[in-house]
Structure 1
Amino acid sequence: MTDIPDVRPAEAMEAVNGSAPAMVVDVRTRAEWAYVGIVDLSAASTQPVLIEWQTFPDMTVDPAFGDALAHACPDKETALYFLCRSGARSLAAAREMAGRGYAKVFNIADGFEGPPDELGHRGHVAGWKAEGLPWRQS
């Protein structure tokens, strides 16, 4: 059990489309955004907040992450839905922001691509892409 609630990707999309302030915070790396894709929230007239939790290639936690997100979202009552590839990095980032006083933090279960399928490919079993939610590649 975790101190941060998991939500399905569709729940995060629904929240962003709702009337209460909500943001998707994608904590993957720049390489993942560029080559794998990002969520498309244009139907909600917004875009995800893109801030790396860990920096590629050494994957060390970025010590400026919390300050960067606090700058992007100064309202600590905004619901923050954290996303990574599979749900692990996003959980760590959500815990960081909960520790900074953000009241509504959620981890998007299975992340953008979810676990690998029987052939070792991601994006087909669970996660944002597998749920058929909008996304795009650059």
Structure 2
Amino acid sequence: MIENLTPQQCWDVLQQNPAAVLVDVRTKMEHLFVGHPSGAVHIAWKEAPDWQLNSNFVAEVSHNIPDLTAPILLLCRSGQRSLDAAKALEAVGYRRLINIVDGFEGPLDTNKHRGNLGGWRFCGLPWQQS
């Protein structure tokens, strides 16, 4: 079962469980230039410019997080790619998967801008920019 938690709830899980791992599934460019949660492991689910699935995604996660029972929190821009990535990990036996609702940047506002209504950064959680 995949849980959907808010950024703040996910931060709480990370603080309470040292085995928990935050995986940023956005593209390399998003991770570097838009910013990313501090301490996140970056493993892209899809990569620009062709937006093909990363065929090594599951293998890369398995290499970084071999424990199938460790809580894995997945984050993308707004919550959809991370949910798809969680489903792929669930299919290979990972048991504690958490999709971060609203992702890093949150949903679009009325002006079609992200970052004003929700998401990791909006909630004031630790992040950095390259």
TM beyond 0.5: yes
In 1: Cα distance, 2:63 partner to 2:100 partner: 22
The share of aligned pairs that are identical, in percent, is 40
Correspondence for 1:71: 63
> What letter corresponds to residue 136 of structure 1 in structure 2?
Q
Return the match for 1:26 from 24, 27, 33: 24
Aligned-pair CA distance for 1:76: 0.7
Correspondence for 1:43: none
RMSD: 1.0
In structure 1, stretches of 5+ residues that fail to align are 41-46
When the two structures are superposed, what TM-score results if normalisation uses the length of structure 1? 0.90
Structure 2 matches for 1:37-52, cutoff 5 A? 37-40=35-38, 47-52=39-44
In 2: Cα distance, 1:24 partner to 1:136 partner: 14
Correspondence for 1:4: 2
In 2: Cα distance, 1:123 partner to 1:129 partner: 7
> What letter corresponds to residue 88 of structure 2 in structure 1?
E
In structure 2, stretches of 5+ residues that fail to align are none
> What letter corresponds to residue 105 of structure 1 in structure 2?
L
Structure 2 matches for 1:49-60, cutoff 5 A? 49-60=41-52
